[in-house]
Amino acid sequence: MAKRKTHYWLLKSEPNAYSIDDLVKDRTTHWDGVRNYQARNMLRDEILVGDKVLFYHSNADPMAIVGTATVVQNGYPDHTAFDKTDKHYDEKSDPDNPRWFMVDIEIAQKFAEPITRDMLRENEITAGMMVLAKGSRLSVQPVTEDEWKAVHKLAKAKLK
DNA sequence: GCCAACGTTGGC
DNA sequence: GCCAACGTTGGC
């Protein structure tokens, strides 16, 4: 069976809602509540088991990449859209024709120190990351292999 | 708290 | 199909 090349992604979360520490505690989670079509398409079609994820804290102090995770379940319907009591309930998502999707991820590592936006901006490679672009609101973003590696170098450098 | 950027909605 | 109004995101 031909093996697909690993793809890399960045997932944003407000730590108030779900933080890296929550993921460390839970080990795995389903990435529910995404209600944006571009992000939905990636969750449904492009993000596959074995892909690697940068975990980013938005609207936080500090705003930073705080760890990594691995995708352990391909896209499947986001059941929180069917739950009237859920914050992300969407009456237009039909269980027979779901509108929203999610993947499952598992903690890989929590960085010893957060990789802040300033740190990302100062590095030649990570300075080009989508998450730094003005007005970048997409909560699921593709990351290049070079960016992935550069973030890890920053994480190691930070340990010194 | 402010507000620019962006996505969605709905009238026409 | 256009686009103004509106709501949300998210950095600062």
Q: Tens digits of per-residue pLDDT, A76-106? A: 999 888 777 777 877 777 777 888 999 999 9
Other C-beta atoms lying within 10 Å of the C-beta of residue A101: 23
Shortest CA to C1' contact from A137: nucleotide: C9
For chain A, how big is the Rg over CA atoms in Å? 16
Give, in Å, how far the C1' of C12 lies from the CA of A143: 24
The secondary structure of residue A43, as a DSSP letter, is: I
Per the model's pLDDT, the better-predicted residue between A3 and A146 turns out to be A146
Q: Kindly determine whether the C-beta of residue A88 is less than 7 Å away from any atom of nucleic acid strand C.
A: no
Shortest CA to C1' contact from A138: nucleotide: C9
Q: Kindly determine whether the C-beta of residue A32 is less than 7 Å away from any atom of nucleic acid strand C.
A: no
CATH fold for domain A8-155: ph1033 like fold (3.10.590)
